[in-house]
Amino acid sequence: MTGIIDYNAGNIRSVERALQFLGVEYRISKKPADLEKADRLIFPGVGEAKFAMGELKKTGFDSFIRDHVQAGTPLLGICLGTQIIFDHSQESDTQCLGLIPGEVRLFPAEFRDKGLKVPHMGWNSVHTTNGGCALLEGIPDGTDFYFVHSYYIDPADPSLVIATADYGFPVPCGVKCGSIQAFQFHPEKSAGFGLRILANFTGRNTVC
């Protein structure tokens, strides 16, 4: 069973619709106890880092996520759920979950001088690096995925980066560390190849 973590900061319904399309057994809950027996966890998110961390602590999902990752439960991070698995976010100077060493940084102000908008919003090509990961199997290099973000992940160990997107520089947009695989873009909003990522994660390898 796939557990979807609902901490009042997630793009829950889009993920739910995608899993329904794939025919995946799942459970959404705001209570960690309801997801204790999940075989894998999806950690989605939209919004502001400090609010999200506050909700995780209030619900107990902060320790729940740490414990399950330590135990080796596969975790798929999406967008804000990817950012707050790092040590720290520059957004509201937020201490995050600390599951992966690194910083979440605001796109530089000079981007606007180069004609690049912040947030980085819309479709952009994603390129694998460091061998990619199993969730990207069946997806051609350079496939477009949907992004909405003003902050980007910056792992302390560059070898953890499995995907980048060109937005002024090769922006890290996918990481793998132990049982964690996480993406800055939204697979659930990225049409067929986004569904492929979710299918690969859940073992439903029947989607085109």
Which residues are designated catalytic? 79, 186, 188
Tokens 């209570």 found at: 31
Counting Cα atoms < 13 Å in the Cβ hemisphere of 39 gives: 8
Helix 61-70 vs helix 49-59: crossing angle, to nearest 10:
80
- Contact between residue 19 and residue 199 where contact means Cβ atoms under 8 Å apart: no
Counting Cα atoms < 13 Å in the Cβ hemisphere of 121 gives: 4
Counting Cα atoms < 13 Å in the Cβ hemisphere of 170 gives: 11
b/e code 171-185 from CB counts within 10 Å (16+ = b): bbbbbbbebbbbbbb
Q: How far apart are CA 149 and CA 145, in angstroms?
A: 13
Q: What are the φ and ψ backbone dihedral angles of 140, each rounded to 5 degrees?
A: -65, 145
